[in-house]
Chains A and B, each alone.
Chain A
Amino acid sequence: MFSELLDRIFSRQPESRAVVKQRLQLVLAHDRADLSPQTMEQMRRELVAVISRYVEIDKEGLEFLLENDQRSTALVANVPIRRVKPLPKEEEAGDADAKLVETADSADDDEEMIIELSDGDEDLDDDSEAEIQDDDTKDNLEGDSSEKSDKNDADTDEKSVDESDDKES
């Protein structure tokens, strides 16, 4: 008993109560959203691609995760910006396949942008799914996410992200 006490006093291990809470918060955020790791990864890549059209970002410092508060889930992306690029040309936006990204206007204000894509218990709307215009990944993503939305009230973004020139691929 005494050695246990000594262990306690000098131990540097974090308490298991704090560890289990943190692990649960993370695993529940993912359980509740019911998004596969593939979908998460694809979403991350597409968001990076869109943002990269306007600003140069620090890919190392990128954070992209689901958080939970009182049974609602939020997708939190923390994107450190290195440098603002010149605005994309007008004609690019007028292209048949390309629509201008609706939400990117805040990108040139700040050093760092946090996109918080919140939630809800409501079913997915049409415009809440990420649309991609250009390649065969479209079918994958849409098939995937609409299927998920049937099973579960998945949270999602309110922003429609159109992808015309994916610089990642």
Chain B
Amino acid sequence: MSRIIVITSGKGGVGKTTCTANLGMALAQQGKKVVLIDADFGLRNLDLLLGLENRIVYTAVEVFAGECRLDQALVKDKRQPKLALMPASQSRTKEAVSPKQMRQLILALAKRFDYVLVDCPAGIEMGFRNAIAAAKEAIIVTTPEIAAVRDADRVVGLLEAADIKKTQLIVNRVRPEMVQSNDMMSVEDVQEILAIPLLGVLPDDERIITSSNRGEPLVLEEKVSIPKMAITNIAQRLEGASIPFLDLTAAHDGLFSRIKRMFRR
């Protein structure tokens, strides 16, 4: 049975789309058939992060209108044949789509793929309602910042109300050196406040920006990096593997920070 997972956050700019692109790619690398749905009508970006922006012919809106078949709108990734993208229209707004249409589209795709990952737009209005319409599970992406955590909490409440019971947390942009000096909430702090199970932790890393510049999700890189490992681990946890969370502090625990902590005791 295929899994329909919505990736959401409430607040914008916390890394939903980056997580969706990389997680989809990582699951495909593990042999799963994955489709990524961009639910951000009017402000689509998932195509850019995947580097597929030049290959879009039709979008979900044309599928709804009956102007093309479902598989004509799907963009297949040449680097990773198990991955496909269902693009959103850039010219239409979120009000042009209804939760019922999204539900039909997602359920049709669920028949052909192992994973349907829906990239939810920011906010809790129409676009959010469309994105969660057929979801059975949710992944909340947040950062250790007050506004992001507050909005994430609101979304957790809305997902509960929509009867989406399995909700897991990804804490993105963690800066271990700031956590160590008590200038940032730790992953445990955020998880304790939101009180939902933790799925993964991603460090704040420059490589995320350079890979988005190139349109190549970071997990495609041959070279092993901490963010790549973190994403691969998340994909494996989704598959049910029990993998310990990466200790991000180790990489930053230089002599100076140790001395600093000694003084602070």
Contacts and interface: CB of A to CB of B under 8 A. Distances in A.
Interface of A: 1, 5, 8-9, 15-18, 20-21, 23-25, 27-28, 31-32, 70-71, 121, 152-153
B57 interface: no
B195 A17 contact: no
Contacts of A16: 182-184
Interface residues of B, number: 23
Contacts of B179: 17
B264 interface: yes
Interface stretch (B92-100, B118-126, B147-155, B214-222): B147-155
B68 interface: no
Given A8-B260, A15-B182, A32-B157, 19 more contacts: A1-B256, A8-B263, A9-B263, A9-B264, A15-B183, A16-B184, A17-B183, A17-B184, A20-B146, A24-B150, A27-B150, A28-B150, A28-B153, A31-B153, A32-B153, A71-B195, A121-B160, A152-B157, A153-B160
12 contacts: A1-B256, A9-B264, A16-B183, A21-B193, A24-B146, A28-B150, A28-B153, A31-B154, A70-B195, A71-B195, A121-B160, A152-B157
Given A8-B263, A9-B264, A153-B161, A24 B193 contact: yes
Contacts of B185: 17, 20-21
Nearest to A1: B256
A62 B259 CA distance: 45
Nearest to A14: B182
B197 to A, nearest CB: 12
B260 A24 contact: no
